[in-house]
Amino acid sequence: MSEAAPLLQVDGLRKYFPVRGGLFRRVVAQVRAVDDVTLQLRRGQTFGLVGESGCGKSTLGRSIIRLQEPTGGRVLLDGTDITRLGRQALLPYRRRMQMIFQDPYASLSPRRTVAQTLREPLDIHQIGTPKEREHQVSQLLDVVGMSARVLNRYPHEFSGGQRQRIGIARALSLKPDLIVADEPVSALDVSVQSQILNLIADLQREHGIAFLFIAHDLAVIQHVSDVVGVMYLGKLVEVADATALYSSPKHPYTRALMSAIPQPEPGSGRQRIMLEGDVPSPMNPPSGCPFHTRCPDAMAKCAELTPQFTNLGSERSPHAVSCHLYGHDS
Amino acid sequence: MNAQPPASDTIAAPPERRESLWTKAAYKFRRDRVGVWSLAVVLVYMAIALGVVFGWWATSWAELEGGKWEPPSAEHWFGTNIIGQDIFDRAIYSTRTSFEVGLVVAILATALGAVLGALAGFFSGSWTDEIILWFMGVLDSIPFILFVAAIAYSLGDTPYAMHVAMISTFWITAGRLVRGEVIKLRGQEYVEAAHAIGVPELTIIFRHVLPNTSHILLVQATITFVAAIKSEVILSFLGIGVKDGMSWGLMIAESTQEVLAGFFNNFLAASVLLFGLVMAFNLFSDALQDALDPRTVAES
Amino acid sequence: MTATPLLKVTDLAIEFSTPQGRVRAVDGISFDVYENETLGIVGESGCGKTVTGLSLLGLIPSPPGRIAAGSIELAGRNLAKLDEAAMREVRGGEISMIFQEPMTALNPVFTVASQMTDVIIRHKGLTRAQARREAIDMLGKVGIPAPARRLDDYPHQMSGGMRQRVMIAMALACGPKLLVADEPTTALDVTTQAQVIELIGQLQREFRMAVILITHDLGVVAETCQRALVMYCGRIAEQAQIEPLFRSPRHPYTHGLLDSIPRIRDQRLTQLPTIAGRVPDLLNLPPGCRFADRCTRAQEDCRTAEPELTQAGQSAFACYHPIGHQPAEPVA
């Protein structure tokens, strides 16, 4: 558990979806959902991944835990490359990485009781005796703040927030080292949202689980994250410690994203950076910097050269930005 | 508003709500008057069929009890046929035949369709799917009567040629429906969650996906039931259906001679009973479909 | 505000019949909307805000729903009493609505042109060519580039933000007096959301219409509305101008809601403020104040009788023990 060996190391991960067309269903194009993403995550740390819909953040999360097969690149969990493991070889690693889903109405099997849902992972991985599993299921509910009396109920009897708690309990059941949480609160009401965010933050502190926390909302991300990565069109554009990123966002896209959040303070009179147009199609991403078509600070070379990451922070606390504004190549 | 809130009407429900998808459907079904009546008619038919199975009535359907073409009387309610058999008994006995064919075909065809459809849907795009789709296409393109005749011929003298033929063609509709639904369901997050846990694929299909198509399967089974009853009558009429038993189809076949001679009892008894059952079952099936359709569930 | 209200909703109650019994999704709410103002209706899911919006256009699905009591007066005419044919004239003419998910509100098999011109022809009695010119004009106003070309697109050929713009253009095509916008930006990305909020505000000023903005997002309300109602469990908890509502909320629910919004802070908090518990079941409401079980200020009287909405200072609120106020002397 040294500084040098992170729990999760993602190297140049790519996930392309083929677009088929024509008479023989040939591949006519590629959607570059995730395009050369590199990131790392230490034990017990939370990486907040933020971006707008279609930027590939969900695909990245799913590719990391092999819910989708990556097209290229490597994912190292504790030093082992898991991208090429077969089903059997992957099983022990499945136990160590779990997922929390966005839609509490779709993430629980509608015809299975809470007990059945929570027992399944324990049964599959044969953890403990059947008696112990039963006990463990009740304990899991307790951890997420629910009573064991609900064990024999079906998902539709619960509210969105309660379902999300059950989903979290399922992810915790295998005592994973890493949890990918894909927009876990975006479908919930505001008052419930903060309950779930607090629960996740507590779990992370108490159990030392590392989280890849995916969200479109920078405010939500701030509450849970140690490190934040901003994604645009399949690429990370800025990665930094949460404090650094929120106090001085560097990439023009991060800045626009921050200023676009409606603030619950009337007449706050902020100057909003209004982006023009829509996100370009990932099937046909712009040349050079992917953001140059909407960037308020775009220069001539942005359309031609793909920017490289520059570290604007220190060695200990890197602040990586991929933008020509900060390049030192001139 | 007074200090006392108007309690009675809004707090009528029990404190703990335990409504499943099925109780919701049952609630909607109960409010559908046509559906309830049609179910009652179907149940009466079923009771008649069960009575035949247990030997409570229509035991003497094959015996020669009277003269040729006797008119209805207290002894023979629908009269007698050309060789003096009781038409009422024969019509009642045929109810059992219909139910037997209907149930066997509906259950087996739907089950087969469910399994193959689920496999095709879950692995859609793979060779498993291709093979199952190819099978569906081939079986679908053979003319039905020809297919039954071929199976009857190849199976020799068994009374089950008709069943085999119907099951091997009727599963296709159920299979297509389930395949479509499974393609929709396999992208659901709870299926992803099962993958993430490491649940084997076949277990995912039968534990997490297929149970969620049960409403489709139930409706499809009732539709198949009606189709099987109608097909049995047609096949029996043509002489490639029921061999040693009695069926409305055989009665109608008998009556072709009689109708020319002006005797309609055999024909009327069989066709009225058949019509009643098919009609009731169709109405029941429609009502069931409405009740199970989540889109018509009242939002609360 | 001295002018007569454009829309006057009085004691509106909307009921739904469910397998477990009748449920009052909206239970006796009253509010006014004036010309040229934006009123926000805020609340969490199930509070009745969407149903309220739908009722203004006679769009409550019936059965199982129905308006059980109250009136909805638009410029003196009671919409709650109109039949479907008369309501159809009002809908899209005097009152328009835009929805959360533009893809489901637009018909996928028709082009934008045919859907827009149909509306214009029906309400304005123009020829098809004239209607087409108006449609192009409208699309231009909502900021769609090259509107003459985009007019013949199908909805699926457009992005989410573009579709929401088309929805807005359609809703405004006949110059409605009142626009009901139900979560118009919830399905959109933040950067697109900012564009659409800006657009609605700009069009509201240009057309001088009244807008009712239904949303769960207090940030959106703060940036677009002049006044807002906070709904809880089918009732109005608090109603006030935006300034006092956000600066000094009186109802504990409003306060809790404002507090629990995740917002970018200078310092990361260890615990976000929350509202404990959850919304009660409409079938099984507690006696007294509906918020009492989750309220930190609740006392004995809150659990016996329901507080009425009363005006005090700059806000109207339904609470016995409002924030920023010493508890009143018990009345003998």
Q: Where are the domains of chain B?
A: 37-58+87-294
The answer to whether residues B274 and B233 touch, using CB atoms and an 8 Å cutoff, is yes
Residue C143 in tokens: 């900021």
Q: Is residue C1 one of the residues assigned to a domain?
A: no
Measured CA angle at A252 (ends A247, A254), to 5 deg: 50
Same domain, C145 and C285: no
Structure tokens at C276: 């404990």
Average pLDDT, chain C: 86
**Is the Cβ pair A157, B196 closer than 8 Å?**
no
pLDDT at B3 over 50: no
Name the phi and psi angles at C256, rounded to 5. -60, -40
Average pLDDT, chain A: 88
Out of A173-182, C10-19, C323-332, pick the least confident: C323-332
End position of a domain, from candidates C177, C212, C232 = C232
Q: According to the model, what pLDDT value does residue B12 have?
A: 28
**B192–chain C nearest CA distance, Å:** 23
- The answer to whether the beta carbons of residues A214 and A57 sit under 8 Å apart is yes
- Exposure b/e, C176-211, CB count within 10 A at least 16 = b: bbbbbbbbbbbbbbbbbbbbbbebbbebbeebebbb
pLDDT tens digits along A39-60: 999 999 999 999 988 889 999 9
pLDDT one-digit tens code per residue, B4-30: 333 322 222 333 445 566 777 888 888
The answer to whether B211 contacts chain A (CB < 8 Å) is yes
Q: What percent of chain B shows pLDDT beyond 70?
A: 91
Decide if A27 touches B, using CB distance below 8 A.
no
Measured distance CA(A227)–CA(C240) in Å, rounded: 40
**SS3 label, residue B64:** strand
Least confident of A126-135, B74-83, B159-168, C11-20: B74-83
Residue C92 lies in a domain: yes
Q: What CA–CA distance (Å, rounded) separates A240 from A226?
A: 9
Q: Given this model, what pLDDT does residue C332 score?
A: 39
For the cut 80, the answer to whether the pLDDT of residue B300 exceeds it is no
Helices B127-141 + B161-185 axis angle, to 10: 140
User: Which C residues in the span 253-282 are in contact with A, Cβ-Cβ below 8 Å?
Assistant: 256-258, 260-265, 268-275, 278-279
Partners of A123 on chain B (C-beta within 8 Å) are: none
**Subunit contact A111:B199, Cβ cutoff 8 A:** no
What percent of chain A stands above pLDDT 70?
Answer: 96
Whether residues C276 and C129 fall in one domain: no
Residues C90 and C192 in one domain: yes
Residue-level pLDDT at A232: 93
Nearest to A107 among B18, B190, B214 (CB): B190
What's the pLDDT score for residue A30? 85
Query: What value does the CA radius of gyration of chain A take, rounded to a whole number of Å?
Result: 21
Confidence at B207, pLDDT banded by 50, 70, 90: very high
Residue C7: band (very low, low, confident or very high) from pLDDT cuts 50, 70, 90: very high
- Percent of chain B whose pLDDT exceeds 90: 46
Kindly tell me if the per-residue pLDDT of C326 is higher than 60.
no
Please judge whether B27 and C19 are an interchain contact, meaning their C-beta atoms are less than 8 angstroms apart.
yes
The CATH number that domain A8-19+29-96+174-326 falls under is 3.40.50.300
Which of residues A263 and C78 earns the better pLDDT score?
C78
pLDDT band for position A159 (cuts 50, 70, 90): confident
Chain-centroid distance, C-alpha C290: 21
Which is nearest to A265 in space by CA: C158, C191, C261, C196? C261
The whole-number average pLDDT for the span A94-116 is: 91
Q: Are residues C228 and C284 in the same domain?
A: no
Q: B1 and C308 in contact by Cβ < 8 A?
A: yes
Say if the Cβ atoms of A190 and C273 lie within 8 Å. no
Q: What is the pLDDT of residue A328?
A: 59
Q: Is the per-residue pLDDT at A65 higher than 60? A: yes
Q: Please state, in angstroms and rounded to a whole number, the distance separating the CA atoms of residues B233 and B241.
A: 8
Within an 8 Å CB–CB cutoff, is residue A68 touching chain B? Answer: no
Question: What average pLDDT does range A272-301 have in this prediction?
Answer: 85
How close does chain B come to A328, measured CA to CA in Å?
43
State which residue of chain B sits closest to C60, comparing Cα positions. Answer: B299
- By mean pLDDT, which of A8-12, A70-74, A110-114, C171-175 is the weakest? C171-175
Q: In this predicted model, what pLDDT tens digit does every residue of B23-81 receive, in sequence order?
A: 778 888 888 899 999 999 999 999 999 998 898 887 777 777 777 777 888 787 778 88
Contact call for residues A208 and A43 (beta carbons, < 8 A): yes
What are C61's strand-pairing partners? none
Contact partners, residue A21, CB within 8 Å, separation at least 6: A28, A29
Taking contacts as CB-CB distances below 8 angstroms, the residues of chain A near B297 are none
Contact B23 C19 (CB under 8 A): yes
Based on the domain organization, do C122 and C254 belong to the same domain?
A: no
For A35-44, A45-54, C155-164, C321-330, which range has the lowest pLDDT when averaged over its residues? C321-330
Per domain, the residue ranges of chain A are 8-19+29-96+174-326, 107-172
Give yes or no: residues C219 and C247 share one domain.
no
Q: What is the pLDDT confidence band of residue A3, given thresholds at 50, 70 and 90?
A: low
pLDDT band at C2 (very low <50, low <70, confident <90, very high): low
Contact C284 B7 (CB under 8 A): no
- Domain closes at, from C169, C203, C232: C232
pLDDT at C261 over 50: yes
pLDDT at B20: 66
Question: By residue range, what is the domain housing residue C296?
Answer: 235-317
Neighbours of B75 (CB within 10 A): 12
CATH number, residue C164: 3.40.50.300
Q: Is the confidence at residue B194, as pLDDT, over 50?
A: yes
Sheet of A26-41, strand order: A26-41, A8-21, A72-77, A80-81
pLDDT in tens, C188-237: 788 888 888 888 888 888 888 999 999 988 888 998 899 999 999 999 99
Provide mean pLDDT across the span C122-151: 85
Q: Is residue C323 part of a domain?
A: no
Place of tokens 């399994």: B115
Cβ neighbours for B61, distance < 8 A, ≥ 6 positions apart = B85, B86, B89, B90, B92, B93, B246
pLDDT at C327: 47
Range with the lowest mean pLDDT among A91-105, A256-270, C279-293?
A256-270
The model's confidence at residue C113, banded by pLDDT at 50, 70 and 90, is confident
Do residue A274 and residue C190 have CB atoms under 8 angstroms apart? no
Percent of chain C surpassing pLDDT 90: 27
Task: Tell me the residue type at A228.
Answer: V
Give the DSSP letter of residue C309: P
Domain end marker among C232, C259, C282: C232
Query: How confident is the model at residue A270, as a pLDDT?
Result: 64
**Does residue C156 sit within a domain?**
yes
Tokens of A48: 């907040």
Query: Which is more confidently placed, B170 or C125?
Result: B170
Total of domains in chain C: 2
Task: Inspect the interface and report whether the beta carbons of C44 and A243 lie closer than 8 Å.
Answer: no
Q: State the DSSP string of A94-159.
A: HTTEEEE-S-TTTSS-TTS-HHHHHHHHHHHTT-S-HHHHHHHHHHHHHHTT--GGGTT--GGGS-
ipTM: 0.87
Q: Determine the topology of domain B37-58+87-294 in CATH.
A: MetI-like fold (1.10.3720)
Specify the pairing of strand A46-50 against strand A210-215.
parallel
User: Any idea which residue has 């009374």 for tokens?
Assistant: B159
For B242-292, write each residue's pLDDT tens digit: 877 888 988 888 888 888 888 888 889 999 999 999 999 999 999 998 888
Q: Looking at CA atoms only, how far is residue C130 from chain B in angstroms? A: 39
Determine how β-strand C77-78 pairs with β-strand C65-74. antiparallel
Q: How large is the average pLDDT for residues C316-322?
A: 90
Cα–Cα distance for residue pair C151/C140, rounded to 1 Å: 10
Let me know: does B100 contact B108? Beta carbons within 8 Å: no
